């Protein structure tokens, strides 16, 4: 078999070496336009997981790499003149040029034909002349450009600027430096990669970059290989205190906008993409070289395991794409966190450090506790001590250690919160969960059973869900309502029944489904279908059907809107009389009021349409009417869709302005959801994918927020609360799986404080039952015990103090 490899970077070389090992008879040729000894880049970082794969696949390469590794386990966060250190992470880094040299030598020893200073022939020519073409030709891959229809490339170029540098200061750990200057926030990602140097990546937002004077310094075209030396010197000035007399070392260093590369397909006939040509992930969560070498291993293995090239390439992409997409989701979260770092710099140093470390959602509260319990304990204590100083309009009650000061603080999710005069014993919310079991809008025995079970389950607040304010405001015939005396009596009975066994605060969500109404109960796909002749006429901001096959709604007249507003107010008064403690207004998910907020669904030209002020008119009228009917001493919450997940929909800026207006109109908190506004939405589903919107609104407006959506673990709840991403966390489907979810979360964490009160009749079950073989005591099987790895490991080479010899600067 004849194999052509375009690009002699680490990914291309590693693939060539592995493929040649597995199939010595293959003819493998690598084209590399640069000379063998040309130096590009600085250090690269590897995870233990990747290194295990390299050690198994090629022990010789692993041994050569290991001999040159810088190793450490700490992360230092430097902010506001202070340092916070989290240990137990485990890093290995080395000079990228050393890695290339190791792989070059390995390829030479195996008989791979590497052609240096030789541009590859056109990819179409290679495709015709070789059995396989591996395109490891980088982020600006000419191969992708040659077959655009096959690869379907999408490039997401960000606005933040970064510059890749080195320094002869040897940092002892992975170091995040965050400086607040008059021009804005600027950050550094730094780590050692040998005994004399560290990588030093400077990053800042575009506005800050301009205000700092970098636009003027970088205001010309730089030749290939040339560095922006004026900007380098400016960075030395900004970070002089952290460089401690050392200098920055450029290597073709200039300002860059990071581009995330995604491809619909990684292959075209016998041509396959590898590394940055196929995908990129922001440098803040790892190394592109690491991903490329993982690609190389998977591709070589697939070719060895499959009988044909076509089957091998299909298997390679099927194996690697889920891994890469998971990495890209984490990288996107991390990238956006750093782009918006100014939102978080006002946090106290402990909480800021925790927020930074958990930014990608891959590292969590529990994960950090396993690595370095002392670090998490310190952040927990700082959170408890400073809870009352949070810059949000909410009274967070601190819970300290036990009375003697010996025990750890309560987990963040079990800290109480006073919201508009109502004390919640913890931060967990059971969101409105529809049962679709009502008849004529009357809640029945299942609603009673569900609310009772969930109120006994330990959450701080439990909502009854999707309650219509009028008959035509129902989503389905099985939805409950609150527009008649009989319905009010039913709800009153349910609330009293719950109150008899639990003191958990109860809330109810009021809504008018608008054009989302008159549908069947959702099937397994979660979608309700039109009722047809058995349905009722629907109402909306504009006469646009939800989707094809759905009837068009009637455009609401001013008289209709006045009636809807009055219905919301009347239902709110009934909810108060029924005994509910909290009221939520459904202003999201494409229901009637949501349809007025979104520019995709509101095409009106009257006072209720047009710009945001007009689109806000109905929500604010409803809110004002409800606020009058609902007691001032009871919390009033509004749920919104902060994004429509469709072009032309609600922007982040508009979402913030909507929440500011709702807060000014009397809302005490915002339940921040997204989507379900238009049928053609494309949400990036994933774990806690909506939480960044709750965080944005909380920091931008000061109004308390509820995070909701794909949150199912207590670890995520703890992370969200402690990082300051939301004040409360709604856990929905997990409470359907286990109505006792909150109390079981307390038992798992060994927490028995006031934030997790077990019902007295069930107290005997408050300890987690023993598992299978729990009574087995294993024997000792090792003569000498293996010492546990230290939590804190610094990179302290003996030669670190030596100055780096002068090198040419480009």
pLDDT digits (tens, 9 = 90+) for 188-241: 999 999 999 999 999 999 999 999 999 999 989 999 889 999 999 999 999 999
Q: Return the closest-CA partner of residue 560 out of 503, 629, 528, 606.
A: 606
What are the Cα distances from residue 686, in Å, to 237, 689, 710?
Answer: 41, 5, 7
* Whole-angstrom distance, CA of residue 465 vs CA of residue 735: 14
Distance CA 795, CA 194 (A): 9
pLDDT at position 589 is 97
Instruction: Of 500-514, 608-622, 755-769, give the lowest mean pLDDT range.
Output: 755-769
Task: Please report the pLDDT score of residue 49 as a whole number.
Answer: 83
Handedness of CA 674, 680, 682, 688 (dihedral sign): positive
Neighbour-count burial for 399-424, b at 16+ CB within 10 Å, e otherwise:
beeeeeeeeebbbbbbbbbebbebeb
Give the DSSP letter string of 530-551: B-GGGS---EESSS--SSTTSP
Report, as an integer, the average pLDDT of 171-195.
97
Give the model's pLDDT for residue 400: 40
Cα distance from N-terminal residue to C-terminal residue, the chain: 42
666 sits in the region (left: phi over 0; alpha: psi -120 to 50; else beta) called: left
Question: Other C-beta atoms within 10 Å of 49: how many?
Answer: 10
Q: What is the pLDDT of residues 640-692, one digit of tens each?
A: 999 999 999 999 999 999 999 999 999 999 999 999 999 999 999 989 999 99
In the chain, what percentage of residues exceed pLDDT 90? 88
| Secondary structure (3-state) at 655 | helix
Q: Rounded to whole angstroms, how far apart are CA atoms 673 and 710?
A: 11
Q: In the prediction, which pLDDT does 650 show?
A: 98
DSSP type of residue 513: -
Measured CA to CA, the distance from residue 481 to residue 438 in angstroms comes to: 9
Q: Does residue 699 carry a pLDDT above 80?
A: yes
DSSP 36: T
Q: Judge whether 544 and 601 are in contact, CB under 8 Å.
A: yes
Integer Cα distance of 76 and 750 in angstroms:
29
**Mean pLDDT rounded to a whole number for the chain:** 93
Could you tell me the sign of the dihedral formed by the alpha carbons of 53, 54, 59, 65, in that order?
negative
Backbone angles phi, psi at 35, to 5 degrees: -70, 160
Q: Which of 67-71, 287-291, 587-591, 611-615 has the lowest mean pLDDT?
A: 287-291
pLDDT at 408: 57
Q: What is the 3-state secondary structure (H, E, C) of 773-799?
A: CCCCCCCCCCCCCCCCCCCCCCCCCCC
Q: In what order do the strands lie in the sheet with 91-95?
A: 43-46, 91-95, 70-72
CB distance 187 to 77 below 8 Å: no
pLDDT at residue 594 tops 60: yes
pLDDT score of 527 more than 90: no
- Tell me what pLDDT residue 773 has: 81
Q: What is the dihedral of CA 367, 197, 349, 339, to 10 degrees?
A: -80
CA gap 343, 359 in Å, rounded = 13
Cβ-count burial of 266 within 10 angstroms (0-12 exposed, 13-18 middle, 19+ buried)? buried
Q: Are 93 and 192 in contact (CB under 8 A)?
A: yes
Radius of gyration of the chain from its Cα atoms, rounded to whole angstroms: 30
pLDDT tens, residue by residue, 717-726? 999 999 999 9
**Residue pLDDT, tens place only, 22-37:** 999 999 999 999 999 9
Mean pLDDT, residues 161-178: 97
Per-residue confidence (pLDDT) for residue 533, from 0 to 100: 84
Judge whether residue 546 has pLDDT over 60: yes
Beta-strand relationship, 184-192 and 82-86:
unpaired
Contacts of 517 (CB under 8 A, 6+ apart): 472, 473, 474, 475, 476, 536, 538
Contact at 8 Å (CB) between 234 and 214? yes
Segment 466-494 shows an average pLDDT of 98
Of 89, 141, 108, 145, residue with least CA distance to 30: 108
Between residues 496 and 394, the one the model is more confident about: 496
The DSSP secondary-structure symbol of 442 reads B
Backbone phi, psi, residue 288, to 5°: -65, -30
CB atoms within 10 A of CB 367: 16
Report helix angle 691-701 to 652-664, nearest 10: 60
Helix (H) or strand (E) holding 715: helix 714-723
**Higher pLDDT, residue 126 or 391:** 126
In what order do the strands lie in the sheet containing 27-31? 113-115, 27-31, 2-6, 132-135, 271-273, 267-268
Round to whole Å and give the CA distance between 598 and 595: 6
The beta strand positions in 425-571, using DSSP E, are 428-430, 461-468, 506-511, 539-540, 554-555
| pLDDT beyond 50 at 566 | yes
Residues 623/678, Cβ–Cβ less than 8 Å: no
Residue 677 contacts residue 649 (beta carbons within 8 Å): yes
Model pLDDT, residue 808 = 34
CA angle 261, 262, 263 (to 5 degrees): 125
Q: Identify whether the C-beta of residue 717 lies closer than 8 Å to the C-beta of residue 427.
A: yes
What is the full DSSP assignment across 91-125? EEEEEHHHHHHHHHHHHHHHT-EEETT-PPPPHHH
Q: Are 745 and 459 in contact (CB under 8 A)?
A: no
| pLDDT for position 799 | 58
CB atoms within 10 A of CB 172: 19
Q: Is the pLDDT of residue 357 over 50?
A: yes
pLDDT of 427 above 70 = yes
Half-sphere exposure of 447 (CA within 13 A, CB side): 28
- Is the sign of the CA dihedral 393, 378, 202, 335 positive or negative? negative
- Answer for the pair 751, 697: CB distance below 8 angstroms, yes or no: no
Burial class (CB in 10 A: 0-12, 13-18, 19+), 180: middle
Q: Is the pLDDT of residue 146 over 90?
A: yes
CA distance 295 to 7: 14
Rounded CA-CA distance 69/675 in Å is: 47
- CB count in 10 Å sphere of residue 792: 15
Categorize the per-residue pLDDT at 454 as very low, low, confident or very high, splitting at 50, 70 and 90.
very high
d(CA 123, CA 135): 9
Dihedral sign for Cα atoms in the order 325, 327, 328, 332: positive
Strands 256-263 and 153-167: antiparallel
The total of other beta-carbon atoms located within 10 Å of residue 611's CB is 9
Which pLDDT does position 41 carry in this prediction? 86
Taken in order 732, 736, 740, 745, the sign of the CA dihedral is: negative
Give residues with Cβ within 8 angstroms of 610, minimum separation 6: 604
* From 127-131, 282-286, 300-304, 316-320, the region with the lowest mean pLDDT: 282-286
The pTM of this model reads 0.93
373 exposed, middle or buried (CB, 10 Å; 0-12, 13-18, 19+)? middle
Report strand pairing: 184-192 vs 198-204.
antiparallel
Could you tell me if 720 and 726 are in contact, meaning their C-beta atoms sit under 8 angstroms apart? Answer: yes
CB 144, CB 277: distance < 8 Å: yes
**What is the rounded CA–CA span in Å between residue 761 and residue 775?**
27
Helix (H) / strand (E) element for 618: namely: helix 617-629
Task: Report the alpha-carbon distance of residue 266 to residue 273 in Å, rounded.
Answer: 5
């Amino acid at each position: 078999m004849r194999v052509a490899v375009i690009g002699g970077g680490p990914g291309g070389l590693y693939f060539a070496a592995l493929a040649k090992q597995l199939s010595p008879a293959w003819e493998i040729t690598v084209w590399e336009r640069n000379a063998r000894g040309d130096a590009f880049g600085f250090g690269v970082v590897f995870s233990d997981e990747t290194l295990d794969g390299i050690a198994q696949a090629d022990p010789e390469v692993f041994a050569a790499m290991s001999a040159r590794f810088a190793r450490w386990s700490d992360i230092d966060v430097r902010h506001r003149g202070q340092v916070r250190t989290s240990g137990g992470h485990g890093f290995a880094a080395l000079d990228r040029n050393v890695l290339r040299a190791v792989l070059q030598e390995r390829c030479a020893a195996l008989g791979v034909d590497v052609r240096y200073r030789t541009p590859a022939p056109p990819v179409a020519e290679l495709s015709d002349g070789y059995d396989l073409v591996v395109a490891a030709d980088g982020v600006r891959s000419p191969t992708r450009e040659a077959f655009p229809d096959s690869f379907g490339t999408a490039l997401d170029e960000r606005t933040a600027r970064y510059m890749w540098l080195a320094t002869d200061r040897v940092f002892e750990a992975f170091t995040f430096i965050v400086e607040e200057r008059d021009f804005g926030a600027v950050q550094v990602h730094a780590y050692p990669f040998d005994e004399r140097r560290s990588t030093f990546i400077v990053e800042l937002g575009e506005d800050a970059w301009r205000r700092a004077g970098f636009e003027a310094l970088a205001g010309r075209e730089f030749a290939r290989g040339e560095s922006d030396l004026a900007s380098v010197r400016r960075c030395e000035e900004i970070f002089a205190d952290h460089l401690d007399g050392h200098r920055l070392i450029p290597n073709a260093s200039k300002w860059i906008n990071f581009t995330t590369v995604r491809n619909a397909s990684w292959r075209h006939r016998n041509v396959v993409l590898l590394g940055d040509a196929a995908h990129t992930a922001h440098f803040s969560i790892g190394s592109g070289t690491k991903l490329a070498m993982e690609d190389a291993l998977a591709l070589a293995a697939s070719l060895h395991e499959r009988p044909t090239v076509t089957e091998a390439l299909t298997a390679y992409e099927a194996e690697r794409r889920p891994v890469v997409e998971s990495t890209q989701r984490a990288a996107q979260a991390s990238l956006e966190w750093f782009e918006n770092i100014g939102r978080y710099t006002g946090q106290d140093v402990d909480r800021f450090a925790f927020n930074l470390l958990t930014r990608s959602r891959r590292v969590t509260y529990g994960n950090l506790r396993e690595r370095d319990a002392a670090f998490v304990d310190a952040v927990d204590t700082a959170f408890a001590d400073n809870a009352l100083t949070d810059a949000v309009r909410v009274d967070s009650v601190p819970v300290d250690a036990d009375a003697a000061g010996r025990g750890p603080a309560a987990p963040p999710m079990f800290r109480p919160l006073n919201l508009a005069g109502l004390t919640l014993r913890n931060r967990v919310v059971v969101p409105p969960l529809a049962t679709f079991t009502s008849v004529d809008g009357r809640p029945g025995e299942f609603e009673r059973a569900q609310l009772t079970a969930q109120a006994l389950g330990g959450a701080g607040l439990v909502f009854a869900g999707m309650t219509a304010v009028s008959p035509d405001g129902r989503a389905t015939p099985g939805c409950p309502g609150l527009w008649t005396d009989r319905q009010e009596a039913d709800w009153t009975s349910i609330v009293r029944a719950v109150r008899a066994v639990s003191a958990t605060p109860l809330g109810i969500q009021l809504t008018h489904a608008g054009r989302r109404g008159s549908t069947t109960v959702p099937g397994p796909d979660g979608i309700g279908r039109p009722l047809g002749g058995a349905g009722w006429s629907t109402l909306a901001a504009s006469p646009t059907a939800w989707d094809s096959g759905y009837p068009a709604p009637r455009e609401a007249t001013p008289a209709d809107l006045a009636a809807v507003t009055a219905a919301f107010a009347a239902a709110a008064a009934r909810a108060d009389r029924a005994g509910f403690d909290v009221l939520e207004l459904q202003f999201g998910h494409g229901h009637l009021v949501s349809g007025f907020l979104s520019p995709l669904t509101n095409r009106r030209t009257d006072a209720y349409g047009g710009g945001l002020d007009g689109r806000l008119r109905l929500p604010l009228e409803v809110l004002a009417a409800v606020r009058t009917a609902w007691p001032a001493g009871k919390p009033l919450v509004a749920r919104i869709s902060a994004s429509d997940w469709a072009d032309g929909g609600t922007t982040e800026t508009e979402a913030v302005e909507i929440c500011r207006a709702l807060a000014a109109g009397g809302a005490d908190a915002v339940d921040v959801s997204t989507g379900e506004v238009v049928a053609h939405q494309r949400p990036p589903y994933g774990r806690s994918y909506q939480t960044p919107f709750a965080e944005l609104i909380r920091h931008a407006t000061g109004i308390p927020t509820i995070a909701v959506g794909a949150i199912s673990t207590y670890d995520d709840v703890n992370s969200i609360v402690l990082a300051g991403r939301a004040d409360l966390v709604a856990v929905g489907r997990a409470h359907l799986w286990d109505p006792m979810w909150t109390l079981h979360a307390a038992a798992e964490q060994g927490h028995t404080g006031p934030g997790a009160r077990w019902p007295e009749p069930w107290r005997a079950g408050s300890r987690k039952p023993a598992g299978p073989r729990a009574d087995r005591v294993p024997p000792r099987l090792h003569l000498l015990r293996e010492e546990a790895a230290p939590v804190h490991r610094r990179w302290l080479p003996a030669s670190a103090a030596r100055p780096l010899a002068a090198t040419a600067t480009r």
